[in-house]
Structure 1
Amino acid sequence: MAEVKETSSTRKGWRNVMVSLVALGIAASVVACSPTTQAGTKPATEQTTAAPAPTTPPAPLATIAVIPESGADFVNPVNEVVAEVSNGTVVSAILSETESGVVTDGELSVSDKKWVANAPLKFAMSYTFNVTAVDAAGTKTDQVSTFTTVPPSHEANAVLYPNADAQVGVAQPLQWSFSEPVLNKEAVENAIKVTSSTGQVGAFRWYSDTLLRYRAADYWPANSVLNVDMQLFGLDFGNGMIGNFNKNYNVNIGNKVVMEADAAAHSVSILVNDQVVQTYPATLGDADFPSASGYMVLTADKQRFATFKAASIGLKPGDPGDYGSVDVEYAVRLSNSGIFIHQATTSAMPYLGVRNLSHGCIGLGPDAASWVFANMGPGDIVHTVGTPNETIAPTDGFGDWNIPFEQYASR
């Protein structure tokens, strides 16, 4: 092989080749270190960063409001028991008596957001109210409330006379005797509705804070019916006293039976439905103890045999008119103070129709007294004339008819 001699020109040519190769290597190196890109895309260093996805805030928890509040006492049994939910719905609501577990029913409303008990509570009872609600995300919230109702010390009752389905005479006022003083009288009157089958309208009269009566301008029509509707449960009588009952019943009115007693004529006449059926001789109160004038209503107190004592009308041994004790028959009470219709004593029998000898009672013969005992009863009326005495007090029995209706209804 021929030896190639290096000349200046050949050295210059190699140097140029090397420079070219070095240049190519650098270029290749640059190409190799550059990221590969696709047509139409930017290098990663030039791409735009995407915005983060928005986050949904958590649903608000359901909140429960209850009435009455937990720990409440003296809760009126007619007050509403309510659970109301915000940001959710009621899953369950259980109102129960704390000790017995007896449950009070209720109803949902307002798209299941509100629960209300649909029955009144009981007096003197502790209750537990357990409510569960759920929010939109399904998260449950529980609330337990406890409370107690009005204690026995603040219950108020009333007794009505006559009793349910009783039959009475045309002159019988209705009477309520309240166990506690009534201060909210108008509210009580509004809670009592009396309806006569004949459409007759009456009026209330308060004789005290515990005694209320009702009568019409005239006697109840014979053989009519009174309906008495009392809605007193939960009613505040005043001073925190709460009515504890509702009641609805009828009172039946019998025939119109009236005794007209004439002290001056010493006689009585009895009318049934405005027709005279009996007339009897009688003895009434003497000059020292004259009979009461005006109207008295027979009460339910009938005694086939009775013992009268002078001390019961304030007489003492040695007082003028003291008769000690005496036995009588067929006694029918007219007043609390001791006025009766009865069979006259043996000593008074000769004076029937002749002279007044009693201490204010109406004395009759055996036949007359037994007829009255058998045929007259509560609510029948006695009208006495010919006596100088005043009328009985309105509450000494039933003296209501001695008050003109205009005055009666004004109280």
Structure 2
Amino acid sequence: MIERRTVFKAALAVGASVLLAACSSDGDSVAGTPQPAGPAADTPSKAKITAEPAIDAKDAEVAKPVVVKVTEGKLTEVKVSSGGKDVKGELAADGLSWTSSESLGYGKTYTYAAKANDAENKPAELTGNFTTLKPAKEVRATVNPSDNAEVGVGMPVKVEFASPVKDRAAAEKALSVKCSGDAEGSWGWLSDSVVCYRTKDYWPANSTVTVEAKLYGVDLGGGSFGKSDVSTKFKIGRNQVVKIHTPDHAMNVTRDGAAHKSYPCSNGLDSEQARNTPNGTFIVMEKKPAAVFNNEQYHYTNVNKKWACRISNHGEFIHENQDNAANIGKANTSHGCVNLLEADAKHYFDSALIGDPVEISGSTLASPVNSDVKVWFFDWKSWQSKSAIK
């Protein structure tokens, strides 16, 4: 009997011990059972950062902006750098993107260092590099008229490239012209390195013209890329047009559509076509208070004349020729130039702007094909056909 009670008490003691363990309320896991991991310990951030150009990209475009984006989170820091210099850029107000605000350099390696947090404030990072393209040749361009110039209503815009352009359409798409007045215009290629812009009619008087040639990074074909952007902003002056009907021996000037001045003149010799003043619409290209004329074909050199306005690089000027005064207003006897009396030449010279139109008719000689400024020798449809963008 004594032994049996002892065994029963021992068993009861063991059962109580197990019961106490099972009913424990101190918050610990049951002995021998592993604790579940906390959510912040191992779960990765939901924020995903991407970039364009992509990591390890080669030959990236230099004029295209760098864009860093994040999904399911917000960007906290973005750095894009090369050679210790950061690329300028701006983080969007919503924190979802960053966009560069300056062009990249040719043939450089850029490094990304971007950070973001997801909704639970878990961080994500993006690091890596990309490289930009390196052109076989960088081509410089110039634009005319220059900044702040005041020019006549016939003045074309000229963009000239230092090397031939193979992809003319790509180059032309990078060009833009804005006029403060109402003016329809078009680009036209005069050679593989020169493209000009002219209006259908003349520019509106007293308007302002802004030209942008965003050529940096533009693939011009054959491994050549634009070296830099160029631009200009200039003013159109009053509408002044010279009209010469060569048989009339008179140079008439209109101002804003109304008759302004008329000067007696002598034009190219009628009886010798090579000496005719050619037909066509020219512009004043250059002004010289004193000019020296040479023409070995007609046996004269070092002839000094005053108040010369060049209208063609074929050799035609409007200038003083007091030595031909007997024929001025009466007969055409020059070698192709428009001769005026000295006082009239000075008066016209002072009134002229580079880009003023000079319309010549009545001659038997056609417009010179080798003139640099020949945009007005074409009718509108023919000029439009010279555009590379169809």
Q: TM-score range by the shorter chain?
A: 0.7 to 0.9
Once the two structures are superposed, residues 325-348 of structure 1 have per-residue CA deviations (whole angstroms, 9 ceiling, x without a partner) of: 4222222111122211122263x3
For residue 177 of structure 1, give the secondary structure of its aligned residue in structure 2: strand
1:118-133 alignment, distance < 5 Å: 118-124=100-106, 127-132=110-115
Cα drift, residue 73 of structure 1: 5.6
Aligned pair 1:95/2:80, yes or no?
Answer: yes
Aligned-pair CA distance for 1:291: 1.6
Across the two proteins, how many residue pairs are aligned to each other?
A: 369
Moved more, 384-393 or 142-151: 142-151
Distance 1:384 1:27, change over 3 A: closer
Q: Which residue of 2 aligns with 1:384?
A: 360
In the alignment, what sits opposite 2:245? Answer: 262
1:373 matched residue in structure 2: 349
Q: 2:314 aligned to 314, 331, 337, which one?
A: 337
**Counterpart position of 2:200:** 217
Judged with a 3 Å threshold, the aligned counterparts in structure 2 of structure 1 residues 309 and 123 are, in CA distance, closer, same or farther, namely farther
CA contact (8 A) 2:113 2:125 kept: no
Q: In the TM superposition, what whole-angstrom CA distance separates every residue of 1:275-314 from its partner, at most 9, and x where no partner exists?
A: 1412213242451422211221111x22222222225xxx
- Unmatched 5+ stretches in structure 1: 1-23, 316-320
TM-score by length of 1: 0.74
257-266 vs 289-298, which deviates more? Answer: 257-266
Show the counterpart of 1:244: 228
Matches within 5 A, 1:1-400: 24=1, 27=4, 30-31=7-8, 34=11, 36-37=13-14, 52-55=34-37, 58-60=42-44, 65-69=50-54, 72=57, 74-84=59-69, 90-99=75-84, 101-107=85-91, 112=95, 114-124=96-106, 127-132=110-115, 141=125, 143-145=127-129, 147-148=131-132, 154-239=137-222, 241-242=225-226, 244-245=228-229, 247=231, 249=233, 251-273=234-256, 274-285=258-269, 287=272, 288-299=274-285, 301-310=286-295, 315=297, 321-344=298-321, 346=323, 348-393=324-369, 396-400=371-375
- In the TM superposition, residue 245 of structure 1 has moved relative to its aligned partner by 1.8
Q: 2:295 & 2:20 partners in 1: Cα distance?
A: 130
Q: Tell me how far apart the structure 1 counterparts of residues 244 and 192 of structure 2 sit (CA, whole Å).
A: 34
For residue 268 of structure 1, report the CA deviation from its aligned partner.
Answer: 2.3
| Secondary structure of 2:343's aligned partner | helix
Q: TM-score, normalised by structure 2?
A: 0.77
Question: Which whole-Å CA distance do the structure 1 matches of 2:205 and 2:123 have between them?
Answer: 70
- Cα deviation 1:47-96 (Å, max 9, x = unaligned): x9986554568223677544334565653333232344578764432223
**For residues 34 and 54 of structure 1, what CA distance do their matches in structure 2 show?**
34
Residue identity matched to 1:105: G
Shift of 1:186: 4.4
Identical residues among aligned pairs (%)? 24
Question: 8 Å contact 1:130–1:145 — kept in the other structure?
Answer: no
Q: 2:376 aligns with which of 371, 395, 401?
A: 401
* Contact 2:268–2:275 (CA under 8 A) maintained in structure 1: no
Determine helix, strand or coil for the equivalent of 2:248: coil
Q: 1:88 to 1:378 in 2, by over 3 A?
A: closer
Whole-angstrom distance in 2 between the partners of 1:42 and 1:72:
67
Amino acid across the alignment from 1:307 = V
- Structure 2's unaligned 5+ residue stretches are 22-29
Distance of 1:387 and 1:43 partners within structure 2:
124
Equivalent position SS for 1:377: coil
Letter in 2 for 1:292: P
Matched AA of 2:100:
N
Amino acid of the structure 2 residue aligned with 1:75: A
> 1:180 touches 1:210 (CA, 8 Å); kept in 2?
yes
Cα distance, 1:225 vs structure 2:
3.3
Question: In 2, Cα distance between the equivalents of 1:399 and 1:225?
Answer: 23
Name the aligned partner's letter for residue 381 of structure 1: P
Whole-Å separation in 2 of the counterparts to 1:41 and 1:353: 134
Give the Cα–Cα distance (whole angstroms) in 2 for the partners of residues 270 and 339 of structure 1.
18
**8 Å CA contact retained: 2:214, 2:228:** no
CA offset digits 1:355-410 (Å, max 9, x no partner): 433321112221122222211221212222332111122x6143322322122223
Output the CA distance in 2 between the equivalents of 1:202 and 1:327.
39
| One-letter identity of the residue aligned with 1:165 | N
Cα distance in 1, alignment partners of residues 110 and 139 from structure 2 = 21
Structure 1 residues 322 and 43: CA distance shift in structure 2, 3 A = closer
| 1:75 and 1:150 in contact (8 A); partners too | no
Contact kept? 2:139, 2:162, Cα under 8 Å? yes
Judge conservation of contact 1:76–1:242 (CA < 8 Å) in 2: no
